[in-house]
Structure 1
Amino acid sequence: MLTSQRRALISARLANDGQVVAGELAAELNLSEDTIRRDLRDMATAGLLKRVHGGALPVAPPLPDLEARLTISADVKKRLGRKAAELVRAEQLVFLDGGTTNAEIVRALPRDMKLTIATHSPAIAALLEKHRADVILIGGNLYKHSMVATGAAALAAIGMLRPDIFFLGATAIHPAHGLSTGDYEEAAIKRAIAAQAAETIALLTEEKFGAVSPHHIAGIEAMAGLIVPASMADDVITPYRQKTIRIIEA
Structure 2
Amino acid sequence: MLAAERHAIILERLDQKPTVSIRALTEQLGVSRETVRKDIELLAQHNKLEKIRGGATKIRTSELPITSRSKLNIQGKSLIAQYLASQIPNGASLFLDNGSSVLALAKALTHHSGLIVYTNDLKVAEVIAQATVELVIIGGKVDVTEMAVQGVEALESVARYRADFAVVSAGGLSPSAFLTDFSREASSMRHLMLSQAQHPIMLADSEKFGVVGHVVFKAPPKPTRIVTDIAPDDEIRRAISQRGYRLDIASEA
Compute the TM-score of the two structures, normalised by the length of structure 1.
0.76
- Richer in strand (by share): 2
Residue 99 (structure 2) pairs with residue 77 (structure 1)? no
Superposition deviation, residue 188 in structure 1: 1.8
Q: Distance in 1 between matches of 2:188 and 2:156?
A: 12
**Percent of aligned positions that are identical:** 19
Gap regions ≥5 residues in structure 2: 23-33
Q: Structure 1 103/136 Cα, relative in aligned 2: closer, same or farther at 3 Å?
A: same
Q: Distance in 1 between matches of 2:143 and 2:181?
A: 13
SS at match of 1:241: helix
Q: Structure 1 122/129 Cα, relative in aligned 2: closer, same or farther at 3 Å?
A: same
- Cross-structure match for 1:205: 205
Superposition deviation, residue 61 in structure 1: 7.0
Q: Distance in 2 between matches of 1:212 and 1:205?
A: 14
Q: CA RMSD in A?
A: 3.2
Amino acid aligned to 1:160:
R
Q: Structure 1 58/70 Cα, relative in aligned 2: closer, same or farther at 3 Å?
A: same
Q: Distance in 2 between matches of 1:185 and 1:6?
A: 32
Alignment of 1:1-250 (within 5 A): 1-2=1-2, 3-8=4-9, 15-16=20-21, 29=35, 44=48, 49=49, 58-60=58-60, 62-219=62-219, 222=222, 224-250=224-250
Superposition deviation, residue 15 in structure 1: 4.1
Amino acid aligned to 1:143:
D
Q: Distance in 2 between matches of 1:170 and 1:234?
A: 19
- Cross-structure match for 1:22: none
Q: Structure 1 211/104 Cα, relative in aligned 2: closer, same or farther at 3 Å?
A: closer
Q: Distance in 1 between matches of 2:233 and 2:87?
A: 24
Q: Distance in 1 between matches of 2:98 and 2:216?
A: 17
Q: Could you list the per-position Cα deviations for residues 89-127 of structure 1 after superposition, in whole angstroms to 9, with x for gaps in the alignment?
A: 233210011111111112112524222011011110000
Q: Distance in 2 between matches of 1:248 and 1:198?
A: 17
Give the total of aligned pairs: 227
Superposition deviation, residue 221 in structure 1: 6.1
Compute the TM-score of the two structures, normalised by the length of structure 2.
0.75
Q: Structure 1 112/221 Cα, relative in aligned 2: closer, same or farther at 3 Å?
A: closer
Q: Distance in 2 between matches of 1:230 and 1:9?
A: 30
